[in-house]
Amino acid sequence: MLRVGYPDTLAPELFGDFPPEVELVPLPDAPGPEIEIDVWLPDPYPPTALRVWPRLRGVRLVLSLMAGTEWIPGTVGPHVTICNARGAHNISTAEWTVSAILAMLKHFPFYMEVQRDEIWKRRFETSANYARITGDNRPLYPPVLLEELTGKTVLLAGHGAIGQEIERMLEPFHVNLIRVAHSARTEPAVHAVSELDSLLPRAGVVILILPLTEETRGLIGRKQFELMPQGALVVNAARGPIVDTDALVEALNSGHIRAAVDVTDPEPLPEGHPLWSCPNLLLTPHIAGSSPQFAPRAVKTAGEELRRYMNGEPLHNVVQTAI
Ligand SMILES: NC(=O)c1ccc[n+]([C@@H]2O[C@H](COP(=O)([O-])OP(=O)(O)OC[C@H]3O[C@@H](n4cnc5c(N)ncnc54)[C@H](OP(=O)(O)O)[C@@H]3O)[C@@H](O)[C@H]2O)c1
């Protein structure tokens, strides 16, 4: 019988749809004897999973509950097949992305300060900040107290499962969408990442939703920030190291861009790090994919992949094939 290890923090009833022929083995995050399993569902929180891994024996297949799996190949080695939970985060992460864009364009982080200070008049500071960040120094009346997403040019870097969901959610805003992915294609038109630099000067909003690989590490650095128009909004829902942190801090502090990031480099972001206090930044602590619907969806995705594995069918979400 195939033995499937799962984090014991997940409720057993989530596995109701798993093939009945498997034996489910709860894996505690605590020291103990070696555990023999064939299939591993690692804890979604990598530090916990990394503590459990050294005790596991016999793992041939890893079914990650997350979309991002960058820490797994280096941990389990090349003789294990790894699948991700492609799709499980689509809705939550796409909703975070659209919310973050709207929050920044509506200046919600600033209005939270106004609310806490109980000073209605402070709202006029938005107008001054709008002029500063966009470089629009015309005498504007009435003052600009928020901005519109509708009609903006949005560059979407990453057009996979989550990128396509973001596109669907952006439809009502009639944005001018520029899609970028690893390779170019048509219908819909997607540019290759090699064209990124030439596209950045047109982008009012830049969304990053692609995996962290050796190719994407530092994809957005000093040069890319400089290529963006004054006041561009950079939204990183992907992984922190895709953006060069020093360059991000510099670009924010100079007032050239603004940003909304769910992910940082390093992560967790330590107390006192300069990023915490940058202007025009909305920072959330890696929560974009996390909703009450996540665990049932991710476990269902893993169960479907497991069924294919047991039936000898091609797997759908392979990120590494065992050698
Ligand atoms: N913040 C969070 O909580 C959170 C939650 C979920 C996921 N994520 C992150 O989001 C990432 C994307 O998730 P997904 O499910 O949409 O992945 P996916 O379906 O695998 O799509 C990845 C997309 O990135 C593109 N890509 C890959 N390498 C690239 C490169 N070198 N340059 C440019 N584009 C490249 C791919 O291009 P092609 O289409 O040409 O192959 C594809 O369009 C995950 O890897 C994860 O790190 C974060």
Q: Name the active-site residue from 23, 113, 195, 267.
A: 267
Which residues lie closer than 8 Å to 10 by C-beta, 6 or more apart? 41, 295, 299
Give the residue, by CA position, lying nearest to ligand 1 atom 17. 160
Q: Which residues line ligand 1 (CB under 6 A)?
A: 67-68, 86, 89, 93, 158-163, 181-183, 193, 209-213, 215-216, 237-239, 262-263, 286, 288-289
Which residues lie closer than 8 Å to 187 by C-beta, 6 or more apart? none
Ligand 1 centroid to residue 92 C-alpha, Å: 15
Tell me if residue 273 is catalytic: no
Ligand 1 centroid to residue 143 C-alpha, Å: 39
- Structure confidence by residue, pLDDT tens digits, 116-149: 999 999 999 999 999 999 999 888 889 999 999 9
Q: Name the active-site residue from 286, 304, 307, 308.
A: 286
Q: Where are the beta strands (DSSP E) in 131-240?
A: 153-157, 176-181, 191-192, 205-208, 232-236
Q: Does a cis peptide bond (omega within 30 degrees of 0) precede residue 42?
A: no
In this predicted structure, what is the pLDDT of residue 132? 95
| Neighbouring C-alpha atoms within 13 Å toward the C-beta of 214 | 0
Taking the C-alpha atoms of residue 82 and residue 59, their distance in angstroms, rounded to an integer, is 10
**Rounded percentage of the chain residues whose pLDDT exceeds 90:** 97
Q: Name the active-site residue from 86, 159, 191, 239.
A: 239
Taking the C-alpha atoms of residue 81 and residue 306, their distance in angstroms, rounded to an integer, is 12
Ligand 1 centroid to residue 82 C-alpha, Å: 16
> Across the strands, what pairs with 157?
180, 208
User: Among 224, 215, 217, 270, which Cα is nearest to 248's?
Assistant: 224
Measured at the CA of 49, the angle between CA 42 and CA 210, to 5 degrees, comes to: 70
Tell me if residue 286 is catalytic: yes
Tell me if residue 3 is catalytic: no
Q: Which residue in the block uniquely carries the two structure tokens 């106004």?
A: 114
Q: How confident is the model at residue 308 (pLDDT cuts 50, 70, 90)?
A: very high
pTM value surpassing 0.75: yes
> Across the strands, what pairs with 281?
259
- Evaluated on CA atoms 290, 114, 257, 167, the torsion sign reads positive
Closest atom, ligand 1, to C-alpha of 160: 21
Distance of CA 272 to the CA centre of its chain: 24
In this predicted structure, what is the pLDDT of residue 230? 98
- Structure confidence by residue, pLDDT tens digits, 234-253: 999 999 999 999 999 999 99
Q: How confident is the model at residue 233 (pLDDT cuts 50, 70, 90)?
A: very high
Quick check: 68 pLDDT over 90? no
| Neighbouring C-alpha atoms within 13 Å toward the C-beta of 20 | 0
Ligand 1 centroid to residue 320 C-alpha, Å: 15
Q: What average pLDDT does range 266-293 have in this prediction?
A: 97
Query: Which of 162, 177, 190, 269 to probe ligand 1 with, by most ligand atoms within 8 A of CB?
Result: 162
